[in-house]
């Protein structure tokens, strides 16, 4: 088993900010919009280097989505920036009609996703966004795991033709992936091979899954950890190959168990290769105020929860 360590923790949103500048340097069609959250989305560096390619829309997310769709018609590649809640639920119909149904090349970049937004509480902590976005025909949904991967994903989606939902978070999390990685949209990343249980994790829960796998190893259980950074399109081959070995599954995500990554995997397996599956996700609930680590503990989204879920899944084999 590869041992993953980290020397630094950083927020994934900063990975987005760094990736946006790099994408803009490589492609002069990249433009950005923000709805009064420049600091939160880490867009300062982009604005400094490319002031003419930035549009401050103000607190008007619906207008921002429409303007981005309009910009894309002329061949520009707009990246919109606001919180995940206001990037999805608040503007679902705008995204549905003006971006997804119209097939527009807009990159919807969403920060502060999930419970780890923390103290602001449930009004800002969306746990339904992956579900809403993956249900839109033609929408690609990406949820990278750390700073480096978020940066790489941001650069990659600029070269990808079509609407993309890119989801990242607020808190600092360990950086354990490579600095110069190539991000392949739709291709799962084998973090660690194993034989007893497959742990399919997304976002910063990949790190929790790695910690869980180390604890499981001490118990004599060999867990396979796969980073599903692209939730749609799902890397079905990677999932089926892993399950063929392990015969049981844990899905782990900072999202409602309804509509998230776990649902996508379950839908695939029930058709192709039914095996026991356990869900590490929120249990159809809204969040609440608190420190991120406290919330992850209370809602069962950490390494300890993944260990327990793996044991349950193996018992059901």
Partner 1 sequence: MSRELSIAGLEDLATQVRRDIVRMVHGCQSGHPGGSLGCTDFLVALYFKIMNHDTSFSMEGVNEDLFFLSNGHISPLLYAVLARSGYFDPAELSTFRKINSRLQGHPTTHEGLPGIRMSSGSLGQGLSVAIGAAITKKRRNETSLVFSLHGDGELQEGQIWEAALFAPAKKIDNLVVTIDVNGQQIDGSTNDVLSLGDLRAKWMAFGWEVIELEGNNMKEIVEALTFAKSRTFRGKPIVILMHTNMGHGVSFMTGSHKWHGIAPNDEQLNMALSELSSTLSDY
Task: Spell out, one character per residue from 141 to 170, where the chain touches partner 1: x when CB under 8 A holds, - when not.
Answer: ------------------------------
Task: Please tell me whether residue 205 binds partner 1 under the rule CB under 8 A.
Answer: no
How remote is the C-alpha of 27 from its chain's centroid?
Answer: 24
Please report the DSSP string for 53-119 in residue order.
Answer: GEEE--S-HHHHHHHHHHHHHTT-EEEEEEEHHHHTGGGHHHIIIIIIITT---EEEEES-SGGG-T
Task: Name the minimum Å distance from CB 55 to partner 1.
Answer: 7
Taking the complex as a whole, the smallest distance from the CB of residue 305 to partner 1 amounts, in Å, to: 40
Q: Which of residues 101-140 bind partner 1 (CB under 8 A)?
A: 101-103
Residue with Cβ nearer partner 1 (28 or 284): 28
Which of the stretches 89-97, 127-135, 161-169, 257-265 binds partner 1 when contact is defined by CB under 8 A? 89-97
Whole-number minimum distance, CB 49 to partner 1, in Å? 16
Interface pattern 19-38 for partner 1 (x via CB under 8 A):
------------x-------
What's the 3-state SS for 149-202? HHHHHHHHHHCCCCCEEEECCCCEEECCCCCCCCCCCCCCEEEECCCCEEEEEC
Q: Indicate the SS3 state at residue 288.
A: coil
Q: How far apart are CB 94 and partner 1 at their closest, in Å? A: 6
Find, among 191, 205, 88, the residue nearest to 146 by Cα: 205
Q: Are residues 144 and 229 in contact, defined by beta-carbon separation less than 8 angstroms? A: yes
Nearer to partner 1, 20 or 31 (CB): 31
Could you say which residues in the range 50-79 bind partner 1, by CB under 8 A? 52-53, 55, 57-58, 60, 62-76, 78
Nearer to partner 1, 94 or 192 (CB): 94
- The structure tokens listed for 69 are 């769709």
Between CA 259 and CA 121, with CA 126 as vertex, the angle to 5 degrees is 140
What distance in Å separates the CA atoms of residue 188 and residue 279, rounded to the nearest whole number?
19
Interface with partner 1 by CB under 8 A: which residues? 31, 52-53, 55, 57-58, 60, 62-76, 78, 93-94, 96-98, 101-103
């Amino acid at each position: 088993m590869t041992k993953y360590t980290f020397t630094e923790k950083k927020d994934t949103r900063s990975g987005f900010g760094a990736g946006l500048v790099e994408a803009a340097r490589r492609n002069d069609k990249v433009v950005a919009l923000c709805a009064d959250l420049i600091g939160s989305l880490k867009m300062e560096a982009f604005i400094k280097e490319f002031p003419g390619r930035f549009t401050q829309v103000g607190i008007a997310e619906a207008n921002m989505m429409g303007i981005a769709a309009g910009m894309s018609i002329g061949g520009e590649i707009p990246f919109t920036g606001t919180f995940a809640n206001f990037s999805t639920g608040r503007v679902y119909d705008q995204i549905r009609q003006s971006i997804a149904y119209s097939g527009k090349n807009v990159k919807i970049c969403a920060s502060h996703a999930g419970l780890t937004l923390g103290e602001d509480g449930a009004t800002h902590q969306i746990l339904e966004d992956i579900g809403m976005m993956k249900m839109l025909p033609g929408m690609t949904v990406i949820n990278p795991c750390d700073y480096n991967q978020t940066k790489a994903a941001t650069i990659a989606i600029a070269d990808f033709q079509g609407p993309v939902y890119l989801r990242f978070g607020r808190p600092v999390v360990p950086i354990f992936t490579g600095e110069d990685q190539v991000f392949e949209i739709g291709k799962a990343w084998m973090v660690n091979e194993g034989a007893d249980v497959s742990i399919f994790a997304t976002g910063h829960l990949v790190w929790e899954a790695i910690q869980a796998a180390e604890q499981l190893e001490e118990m004599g259980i060999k867990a396979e950890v796969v980073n599903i950074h692209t939730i749609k399109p799902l890397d079905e081959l990677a999932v089926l190959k892993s399950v063929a070995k392990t015969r049981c599954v844990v899905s782990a995500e900072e999202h409602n168990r309804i509509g998230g990554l776990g649902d996508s995997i379950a839908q695939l397996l029930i058709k192709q290769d039914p095996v026991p599956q356990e869900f590490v996700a929120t249990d159809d609930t809204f969040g609440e105020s608190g420190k991120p680590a406290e919330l992850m503990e209370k809602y069962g989204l950490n390494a300890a929860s993944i260990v327990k879920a793996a044991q349950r899944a193996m018992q059901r084999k």
